[in-house]
Structure 1
Amino acid sequence: MDTLFDLPESEAPEEAVIARYRLSDDAYGSPAEREAFFDAERTLSAAVEAAGVGDVDGNEFGAGEVVLYAYGPDAAALFKVMEPALRGLPFRPAHVVLRQGSQETESRVDL
């Protein structure tokens, strides 16, 4: 054992929920779109934290889309908490990728 780092021997792989939304232009969307997204992101963070299913890790804007990243031990449980707010955003087309398990199996859910 390397005593320099105190890492757990075996840790369950972290799973992910990655939501992608198309914005109204080919850059960063309108100020109103960004504000609506940031409001939803705060709501999602609070819901995920309250449910104890993971963490909303942030977002990326650019090239006409916004991507939201969330991680936790169970992507399905994380998505269940996030789904109402994700579906509530008006930007389309939109979809979510659930990345699950040690083999990083991916499934797509259209919103």
Structure 2
Amino acid sequence: MEELFDAPQADAPEQAVIAHFRLSGEQFGEPDERAAIYDAKRAMTVAVEDAGVGEVDGNEFGGGEAVVYAYGPDADALFKVMEPTLRGLPFRPAYVTLRRGDAEAAVSRVDL
């Protein structure tokens, strides 16, 4: 398979894409909301693995929010692959943070 993005240096720190979605209620959202997040996570996992840009690591529910975590060597390439699915989810407000560097690196925010 042809690579879609330039490969970063092997010693580059892992970067992150973290998506936040507001759900109904104060806790874990409704069952259909959680199902939509799980379906989107599965679709993004396949897309990210097929593109070879990282991994969708997991999700959390709580406090009326769903959060999806993804990591890879290039946050911009990772977000580019995930973006169509993230924007397709109906929950708002929603935003994504992109961390381009190690855990101490500054983050940028993209509203969905």
Fold similarity call, TM over 0.5: yes
Q: CA deviation at 1:107?
A: 0.5
Quick one: distance in 1 between partners of 2:37 and 2:59? 10
Correspondence 1:64 to 2:48 = no
What is residue 109 of structure 1 aligned with on the other side? 110
Name structure 2 gaps, 5 residues minimum. Answer: 1-9
Aligned-pair identity (%): 67
Q: CA deviation at 1:12?
A: 1.2
Deviations 1:58-93 (A, max 9, x none): 011000001000000000000000000000000000
What is residue 6 of structure 1 aligned with on the other side? none
Q: CA deviation at 1:96?
A: 0.1
Q: CA deviation at 1:31?
A: 0.4
What is residue 18 of structure 1 aligned with on the other side? 18
**What code does the residue aligned with 1:40 have?**
A
Regions of 4+ moved over 6 Å = none
Name which one, 1 or 2, has greater alpha-carbon Rg: 1
RMSD between aligned alpha carbons? 1.1
Aligned length: 102
Q: CA deviation at 1:104?
A: 1.3
Name structure 1 gaps, 5 residues minimum. Answer: 1-9
Q: What TM-score do you get using the length of structure 2 for normalisation?
A: 0.88
Quick one: distance in 1 between partners of 2:43 and 2:51? 12
